[in-house]
Structure 1
Amino acid sequence: MGQTSQKFGNNLQISHHHFSVFLLLSFISWFGSTEAYQNYTVGDSLGWYDKLLKPTVDYQKWVAGKNFSLGDFLIFNTDNNRSVIQTFNLTTYQYCDYNNAQDNDTIEWIILDLSSTSVQKVSIEVPLVTLGMNYFFSGSYDGEQCMNGQRFNINVTYGEGLPPSLIADDGSSQTPALSPESGGDDVESPPTKSFASIFDHPVNNGDVTATIDDSKSRASIVTCNVMHIVLLLLVMIYSGLLGF
């Protein structure tokens, strides 16, 4: 009888240990999956320039180790002598030439300020709304900046999917606070997106209502996550996994 009780106690202890390990692994897995949308400053402190101006820039090296997902924003800190071409066409990217690009595979992002006659610092904020390979380069000066290192490519994954502020009423992706500008008549050019750089936090783009709703939603998620963490810690303490 004593041996049976001891065996039962050992089995209970082993099961208790396995349950504790399971809880810890579940906690780690759950915590690692709660990534929010990210804002990435391209080139960090170096900004968005070519190697002729900033010889140490290496945008593909900057990309390494980062995980880009739908709903994230790329922030290009540069000047009004440079643009951001976003294309999904590898040939356009390789040749640093967007003059013959198609409307559905290439976009030019610029800061449009017709009153400016001098070089000014600008910030161009680009939302990631398309899965797969996204290619970026500067289209200014007939591709010279691109050929001198001002380009990179990234792979955009699904992540948490697009936030409500980047989804149009028909369910397709959209880029808020943007207005298309028409191109020239003689040369085929990609659609141009021009906008004022007034967003403090790009992932909260959208109208006032959407921003408020998104903030409330994030606050609720954070509160729920904290409660889950506290609950899991209490269970692990009770189970003896943390040694208390």
Structure 2
Amino acid sequence: MAQRRYGFGLVTSFFCISGCIALISLSGCAEAYQNYTVGGSLGWYDNQEKPEVDYQKWASAKNFSLGDFLIFNTDTNHSVVQTYNLTTYKLCDYEDAREKDTILWSSSDPSNTATHAVTVPVPLVKEGPNYFFSSDYDGEQCQNGQHFMINVTHGQGLPESLKDPSDQSPGPVSPDSGDDSVPDTVVPSSFNNPQEQSADDNEPSGSVALTAWGDKFLNGLLLMVLGTTLQTLMI
């Protein structure tokens, strides 16, 4: 009977430890900034070139937060435009966009026949609606499916490398305000772009700190359970 009692205690301890490990792992994942490859393996192209693309459908399955990156895998015949202006987005028009609410991350030269692949990382630095499109060929690529919108939440906020040096982060503009413009967004030129990471690569600082705390807690818990178990067996 005593052996059964010890066995039950060991099993209980095992499940307690396993539960703690799972909780710590989940917490670490929740804290990490994310990189999202736009369109997955299809990349960033219009549906004349890749008929199967549906960027809005791709975006609807994701949760985007400040500090995340969008990775655009495309070529020099397609551009990457980010805007906070709904009118600019609907018109697929970069040329007439307001300077303060639209960013051209990657331009193209349609007359250049030497097309080559490019990867364009775009940080999400402002909450609220963010719109993306390609403005090439007078907006034809945008009209042919190369566009999408996302809603960016606060999440854990911007990492230090993406914060405005003035430490004044502009807020989202209400669509009912009647003003399509938004305050300046300054992205420091020295920020570090996160690279595509596997599960084994280094996590961002917030996740690392939480995981380190979890490791210490887990080690202490293991020692405590082990000591209690040995003490019980010796009785």
Q: TM-score, normalised by structure 2?
A: 0.66
Corresponding residue of 2:216: 227
Q: How does 1:1-244 map to 2 (within 5 A)?
A: 27=23, 31=27, 34-110=30-106, 118-172=114-168, 174-177=186-189, 202-203=193-194, 219-229=208-218
What amino acid sits opposite 2:37 in the alignment? T
Shift of 1:231: 5.7
Identity of aligned residues (%): 52
Distance in 1 between residues matched to 2:99 and 2:29, nearest whole Å: 36
Instruction: Kindly provide the amino acid, as one letter, of the partner of residue 223 in structure 1.
Output: A
Cα distance in structure 1, aligned partners of 2:90 and 2:28: 36
Residue type of the alignment partner of 2:215: V
SS in 1 for 2:47: coil
Displacement of 1:64 in angstroms is 1.9
Equivalent-residue separation in structure 2 for 1:130 and 1:237 (angstroms): 49
Aligned-pair distance for 1:44? 0.7
CA distance in 2, matches of 1:95, 1:231: 59
Tell me how far 1:106 sits from its aligned partner.
1.0
Whether the 8 Å contact between 1:111 and 1:122 is mirrored in structure 2 is no
Shift of 1:91: 1.4
Cα offset for 1:169? 2.2
Contact 2:80 2:107 survives alignment (8 Å): no
The answer to whether the 8 A contact 1:96-1:146 is kept is: yes
Q: By how many angstroms is 1:92 displaced?
A: 1.2
C-alpha separation in 2, matches of 1:35 and 1:217: 6
How much has 1:234 moved relative to structure 2? 8.1
CA contact (8 A) 1:70 1:162 kept: yes
Instruction: Give deviations 1:5-56, integer Å, cap 9, x for gaps.
Output: xxxxxxxxxxxxxxx9xx98xx58x828832101110001000000000000
Cα deviations across residues 42-83 of structure 1 (Å, max 9, x unaligned)? 001000000000000010111122110000000100000111
After superposition, the Cα gap between the structure-2 partners of 1:220 and 1:58, relative to the gap in structure 1 and judged at 3 Å, is: same
Structure 1 pair 40–217 and aligned structure 2 pair: CA distance change class (3 A):
closer
Change (3 A) 1:222 1:142: same
Distance (whole Å) between structure 2 residues aligned to residue 65 and residue 168 of structure 1: 29
Letter of the aligned partner of 2:66 in structure 1?
L
Distance 1:203 1:219, change over 3 A: same
TM-score normalised by L of structure 1:
0.64
| CA RMSD, Structure 1 to Structure 2 (Å) | 3.6
Report the 3-state secondary structure (helix = DSSP H, G, I; strand = E; otherwise coil) of the residue aligned with 2:31. Answer: coil
